Amino acid sequence: MKKIVENVPRTIKKAIAKWNIDNISRTVFYQDYFNRNPEIKWSFLAAMVSRNAGWSMTDLQGEWFPKAIKEEQLMKLFLTYERANWIIFADAAPQLLLYELGKKANTSFFHFGRDLGISSFMLEEWNTFLELGDQDRLMTALIINEQHVIEGPLMEHHLYAKKVFHSLLFTIQDWFHFSTVLFPTVRGELFGLSVSGFRHTRNRIKLGKSLAKLLFHPNYFNAFYHFAMKVAPTGSRYDYERFMGKRREEPMLRQVYPIIPHHQQDKKDWFRGQLLVKKMMKVESELPDKVLISDWYERKRSQIRIAMEVENLLIQKSRK
């Protein structure tokens, strides 16, 4: 037992190095983890949101954006998606693995949490979960945590804040709700929710909580889970558009993007006992009346195509 305990941090760091490679590997990890530990509902939410991140990444190298946006700008936006996903995985995966290893050994390994960079907020919430077993509370805590984890190193970082989150391209995506999170089914249906004002932590947390409510809704969960088990992630919208009778317009992620090395120095504990965070834990999320958005999606896809075509024409005209 002593040897097992001593090897826990090393085992976790080795697993993180293996799986925190790209969007595909992270999505597979989250999904496989949920299959093994269905009580950790956040991992399925993370898998489905990660699929959406992949689709957003390959859109940038698809049929439309490259015609109107410079490659340098597209790469910056890709790196932003990639960085956000990497940071969240680097923070969340050690938590998930500590729990799973502890479950197998019938003990808790969360005393390793500080050494693995887990926030004091989440260490408290994991201990509460081990005591009470409240699956929804833990999922909410992980949603709140992940958005605070990316706030400093990504949302407020001077490079990303100026060159990405206040760029015209990001504004266009935000305005068109093109980053809407979609939950597909093999019947060709699309369910989903949008967020406006993605730059604000509270808005992202609100979206995450609503997405969780939609994903695990008793009327829809089985259809979403069936899709996830049937369709291996490739990082392309074709993963679900093929069930809508569409042709492929975007490449697969590993066809167009290299592996991006990341580093994170001086990770700090974001939690300082903020009262607002405690309030967020208690606020119930609400779903809009309409969550089946297949028709809305078709309109938005047409709008973005028109916008990109107009921008392309303007670019061509300016060169003459």
In the numeric block, the tokens 């303007």 are attached to 314
pLDDT digits (tens, 9 = 90+) for 52-96: 999 989 988 988 888 877 888 888 888 888 998 999 999 999 999
Average per-residue pLDDT for the chain: 87
Half-sphere exposure of 13 (CA within 13 A, CB side): 10
Q: Which long-range contacts (CB under 8 A, 24 or more apart) does 231-235 make?
A: 231/186, 233/23, 233/24, 233/27, 233/28, 233/31, 233/50, 233/51, 233/54, 234/24, 234/54, 235/23, 235/24, 235/51, 235/54, 235/55, 235/57, 235/58
Per-domain residue ranges for the chain?
Answer: 2-258+277-319
pLDDT digits (tens, 9 = 90+) for 150-169: 887 664 444 544 554 445 55
pLDDT digits (tens, 9 = 90+) for 103-113: 999 999 999 99
pTM listed for this prediction: 0.91
Paired strand residues for 184? 190
